[in-house]
Amino acid sequence: MADVGGAQSYDEPEDRRCGEGLALVADWQEVMAMSTVSHVSLKELARTLGMDRSHARRYVLGLGYRPVKQRTADSGNQLALAVTRDQADEIVKRRREQGFPSSGGQPVDQEHGYFYVVQLVPDLEPRRVKLGFAISIPDRLSQHRTAAPTASVLRQWPCRGAWEAAALDCLAQGCRRVGPEVFDCDDLDRLTERGDSFFRVMPQTSNVRSTSHGEQCGSHHE
């Protein structure tokens, strides 16, 4: 899948993505070095990830984490939604592995990429799918194949980062959640139809097409 804006290709320089990942890690290590508490507020986590708090909360929930109200140093010792330090480390690592920029980069809700449906084990359990947003589908598929070697892309649509949570809620209707962004869906045709309907009414993105099973299936609708 092509990267954002049409200007970037599948072959985004590795050193650029690595540099952005290292910047994110360094930024996070600075935050953690200043904190002696066991929890980190969503506000601070959002700043590190380069998101607003609303999008950060949706992203954290989508990964399967459940923030709790805690008093933290970065919230002025006031009650605030927070995750544990270990969870925050995992979230930042996950974001870095996905190739997202650090807090100095483009806001996540303005990023252009793709919303995808990946069948994790199509030969054994074709109904089990992973739903999510990615800038680069080939990179994301490669990540999934480290644990699920036969994973394959069922469908993908041009998407903005801000639409991820709403798209996931729409497509996953009637499916059973079995893990973070992983679902068992009895009717994959209906799932992809919901995806077509959802993205048909969304504004056109800079990406050029939606695809099915890796093949072009038509340009993105206005």
Per-residue pLDDT, averaged over 188-212, amounts to 80
Q: Are 74 and 43 in contact (CB under 8 A)?
A: yes
The gap from C-alpha 64 to its chain's centroid, in whole angstroms, comes to 12
Look up residue 130 and give its two tokens. Answer: 């992973």
- Per residue in 121-137, pLDDT tens? 999 999 999 999 888 88
Compute the distance between CA of residue 18 and CA of residue 193 in angstroms, rounded to an integer: 36
> Is it the case that residue 105 has pLDDT exceeding 50?
no
The gap from C-alpha 116 to its chain's centroid, in whole angstroms, comes to 10
Please, which residues have CB within 8 angstroms of residue 206's CB and are 6 or more apart in sequence? Answer: 4, 5, 6, 112, 158
Q: Are 87 and 15 in contact (CB under 8 A)?
A: no
The pLDDT of residue 217 is 31
Q: Binning pLDDT at 50, 70 and 90, where does residue 71 land? A: confident
Highest mean pLDDT among 15-19, 81-85, 147-151: 147-151
The pLDDT of residue 29 is 52
> Is it the case that residue 197 has pLDDT exceeding 70?
yes
The helix or strand, by DSSP H or E, that contains position 169, with its residue range, turns out to be helix 164-171
Name the more confident of 85 and 11.
Answer: 85
What string of DSSP letters covers 40-74? Answer: EEHHHHHHHHT--HHHHHHHHHHTT---EEEE-GG
Q: Binning pLDDT at 50, 70 and 90, where does residue 200 land? A: very high
Name the more confident of 209 and 9.
Answer: 209
The pLDDT of residue 5 is 43
Average confidence score pLDDT of the chain: 75
Please, which residues have CB within 8 angstroms of residue 5's CB and are 6 or more apart in sequence? Answer: 112, 206
Of 31, 30, 32, 4, nearest to 17 (Cα)? 4
Please, which residues have CB within 8 angstroms of residue 154's CB and are 6 or more apart in sequence? Answer: 117, 118, 119, 129, 188, 192, 212, 213
- DSSP 3-state of 170: helix
Compute the distance between CA of residue 98 and CA of residue 140 in angstroms, rounded to an integer: 7
- Per residue in 151-191, pLDDT tens? 999 999 999 888 888 999 999 999 999 988 899 999 999 99
Query: Where exactly are the structural domains of the chain?
Result: 14-97, 111-219
